[in-house]
């Protein structure tokens, strides 16, 4: 199955390290981050799940629930968590979903057969409170994810949902934004950007990042 930005994230019921997880019910009205890893007891995945555990306060501050997944069974996940906690100096408290029947992997297109017919690639799905997929990132098994970029994408999505801006190249939270081209009314511009803005071209206008 191929999922596109704007599609509803497929619902599922699977076992996890925190018990049975009904995905849409678990998400509730929060944002969600679902990411797959190729296999348990592998070095890159161990570092990634350790970093996720370290960043849980950052995800919570943004109202984002996090769940990991691989095609290994739940008992393997639970045993592996001890290694993650010990080697990474963390406590993994978020759910790791078991997908031994590859049901979720098929729903989300997490197995790329030209890379591996058995293991999931490093997929990341950003899901909004309406259960829509808002962004995806896919890495090969050999490349660990950049979680600073994952947080940056969340910040951009949440900011641009609330204000008539887009985030330019290499934007970081707090940096200047660009005004969306569709906003042209002078009064609406004054209200949206009371501190003013810089117009380099009619379609390229820079403004300080709006406050929450």
Query: Do 50 and 123 belong to one domain?
Result: yes
Task: Tell me whether residue 5 is in a domain.
Answer: no
The verdict on 54 and 137 lying in the same domain is: yes
Based on the fold, state whether residues 108 and 23 are members of the same structural domain.
Answer: yes
Does 196 fall in a domain? yes
Instruction: Show the domain range for 199.
Output: 163-207
- Asked if residue 95 and residue 137 are part of one domain, the reply reads yes
Q: Judge whether 122 lies within some domain.
A: yes
Q: Which long-range contacts (CB under 8 A, 24 or more apart) does 152-155 make?
A: 153/126, 154/31, 154/33, 154/62, 154/64, 154/126, 155/62
85, part of any domain: yes
In the chain, the number of structural domains is 2
Q: Are residues 139 and 172 located together in one domain of the fold?
A: no
Are residues 123 and 191 both part of a single domain? no
* Coil, helix or strand at residue 61: helix
122 and 34 assigned to the same domain: yes
Residue 170 is assigned to a structural domain of this protein? yes
pLDDT in tens, the chain (212 residues): 689 999 999 999 999 999 999 999 999 999 999 999 988 999 999 999 999 999 999 999 999 999 999 989 999 999 999 999 999 999 999 999 999 998 998 899 887 765 665 566 689 999 999 999 999 999 888 899 999 999 999 999 999 999 999 999 999 999 999 999 999 999 999 999 999 999 999 999 999 999 87
User: Is the domain of 126 the same as that of 195?
Assistant: no
The position carrying tokens 């968590």 is: 81
Choose, from 9, 21, 34, 45, the residue flagged as catalytic: 45
8 A C-beta contact, residue 198 and residue 205: yes
Residue with tokens 């290499």: 170
- The answer to whether residue 156 is domain-embedded is no
53 and 136 co-located in one domain: yes
pLDDT at 119: 63
The reply to whether 149 falls in a domain is no
Looking at the structure, do residues 127 and 44 belong to the same domain, yes or no? yes
Is residue 50, in this structure, part of any structural domain at all? Answer: yes
**Residue 45 known to be catalytic:** yes
Give yes or no: residues 60 and 130 share one domain: yes
Which CATH number is 56's domain given? Answer: 3.40.30.10
């Amino acid at each position: 199955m191929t999922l596109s930005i704007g599609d509803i994230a497929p619902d599922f019921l699977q076992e996890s390290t925190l018990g049975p997880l009904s995905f849409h019910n678990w998400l509730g009205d929060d944002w969600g981050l679902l990411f797959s890893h190729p296999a348990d007891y592998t070095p890159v995945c161990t570092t990634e799940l350790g970093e996720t555990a370290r960043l849980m306060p950052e995800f919570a501050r943004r109202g984002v629930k996090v769940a990991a997944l691989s095609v290994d069974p739940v008992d393997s996940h639970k045993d592996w968590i001890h290694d993650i906690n010990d080697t990474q100096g963390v406590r993994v408290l978020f759910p790791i979903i078991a997908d031994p029947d590859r049901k979720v992997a098929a729903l989300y297109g997490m197995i790329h057969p030209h890379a591996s017919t058995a293991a999931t690639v490093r997929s990341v799905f950003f899901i909004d409170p309406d259960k829509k997929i808002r962004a995806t990132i896919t890495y090969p098994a050999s490349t660990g994810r950049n979680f600073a970029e994952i947080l940056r994408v969340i910040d951009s999505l949440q900011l641009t949902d609330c204000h008539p801006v887009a985030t330019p190249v290499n934007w970081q939270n707090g940096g200047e934004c660009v005004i969306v081209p569709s906003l042209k009314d002078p009064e609406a511009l004054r209200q949206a950007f009371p501190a003013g803005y810089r117009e380099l071209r009619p379609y390229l206008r820079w403004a300080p990042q709006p406050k929450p």
